[in-house]
Amino acid sequence: MKKLFITATAVVISVTAQAQDELIKSLDGNTSLSAKEGFMFKPLINLERTSVKNQGSSGTCWSYSGNSFIESEMLREGKTPVDISEIYTARCVYIEKAKNYVRMHGNVSWGDGGELHDVMNIYKKYGALPQEVYTGLNYGTDINRFGEMQAILKGMLDGIIQNKNGNLTPNWITAFTAVLDSYLGQVPESFTYNGKTYTPQSFAQEVIGINANDYVELTSIPDEPLYQDVFLAVPDNWSFDYAYNISTTDLISTIDNALDKGYTVGWAADVSEKYFSWKNGVAYVPETEYAKMSAEEKESLFSGPKDELTITAELRQQAFDNYSTTDDHAMQIVGKAKDQNNKEYYIVKNSWGTKNDYEGYLYVTKNYVMYKTTALLLNKAGIPKNIYKG
């Protein structure tokens, strides 16, 4: 998930929000000094999860939220959770994405971005590593900084698809992997964890122990057929996966059902709106369009609860079609709360560290979720049976 610009060719290039710090900077004005005093939240459901992480200067939110989701599934099943290496998952995606990029002659997105389904696909194919075994910090920093690495990888791939030899050699993937090794570190064939030796695959099976086939990605595209798999038409769906299409109102009933049953939810959404405040930890959909607000209305945007715009399927589809909803970011819904007016919000765990009003969490209204969600990831058992029968 990331903001994208599309060039005049068919190549999609990551430009702006591939890095957390750039996206946060774009949201810096979405704040109010009085927000924490204006909103009073009471938790209704607060599910177990692991600690808030920081994805650093990298567009790997999908890996952080997806692996946090897996960690919560371990907790739900009564297991001791593992701090899963998000960068191992991302590294495996870069290899698969590179293969696709070359096969498509560069006519597919490249960059840090990915989707929630990538986490499950990689878990199934490549297994997983604990953070203590694979930090991905092999280049002199204590936090992810992927700008230099991604520039090198993109330049290498663009050179490969020029096909100067007339036929591609089998060596290019070895050279590509060597760059990943240099920046992120080599992947161990085996390693010791809690006194026992594992491979990435056996670690996933024996220690994490979830079944990737138990999980499904959902979307809501009103102009596509409902209650069947449809193509997830967002630029970072480099693997061309399909998602199960549900109605706009089903998004809410599905999340509520999952939370009621003890399941957290992976959440992909647009967070670029002026009414999404990372600093204040609040997101909602104001009745008045931001561009039409008075200076006073803009000033008080996060001063306390406000009435919201009614969200319809037509409005949601229009936002996709005119690019006001784009595939920006992925987080994890871990609970539900209500404000002083008894309006319900979802409690959302982010991966931008803990330097906001709620130490890394946000409170997001159901209207915002209905309007700005691009996809959900959850356990099939958490979906109402009248919505999903798979």
Q: How far apart are CA 266 and CA 66, in angstroms?
A: 6
Q: How far apart are CA 292 and CA 295, in angstroms?
A: 9
Model pLDDT, residue 24:
62
Place of tokens 């499950």: 120
CB atoms within 10 A of CB 49: 20
List pLDDT tens digits, range 371-382.
999 999 999 999
Determine if the pTM surpasses 0.85: yes
Model pLDDT, residue 344:
98
List pLDDT tens digits, range 175-219.
999 999 999 999 999 999 999 999 999 999 999 999 999 999 999
Query: Confidence band (pLDDT; 50, 70, 90) for 2?
Result: very low
Q: How far apart are CA 213 and CA 120, in angstroms?
A: 8
Take residue 112 and report the two structure tokens written for it.
């840090």
List pLDDT tens digits, range 333-371.
999 999 999 999 999 999 999 999 999 999 999 999 999
Amino acid (1-letter code) at residue 366 = K
Q: How far apart are CA 310 and CA 277, in angstroms?
A: 20
In this prediction, what percent of the chain has a pLDDT beyond 90? 89
Q: How far apart are CA 328 and CA 344, in angstroms?
A: 24
Amino acid (1-letter code) at residue 76 = R
In this prediction, what percent of the chain has a pLDDT beyond 70? 92
- Are 247 and 313 spatial neighbours (Cβ–Cβ below 8 Å)? yes
R_g (Cα) of the chain, nearest Å: 21
* Secondary structure (3-state) at 84: strand
4-382 has CATH 3.90.70.10 classification: yes
Write the DSSP assignment of 256-273 as a string of letters: HHHHHTT--EEEEE---S
Nearest to 97 by CA among 23, 166, 211, 173: 173
Nearest to 96 by CA among 237, 219, 203: 237
Share the mean pLDDT of the chain. 92
List pLDDT tens digits, range 248-283.
999 999 999 999 999 999 999 999 999 999 999 999
Query: Confidence band (pLDDT; 50, 70, 90) for 8?
Result: very low
Mean pLDDT over residues 142-162, rounded?
Answer: 96
DSSP 110: B
Name the percent of the chain in helix, strand, coil, to the closest 5: 35, 20, 45
Query: Confidence band (pLDDT; 50, 70, 90) for 56?
Result: very high
Model pLDDT, residue 88:
98
Q: How far apart are CA 193 and CA 338, in angstroms?
A: 41
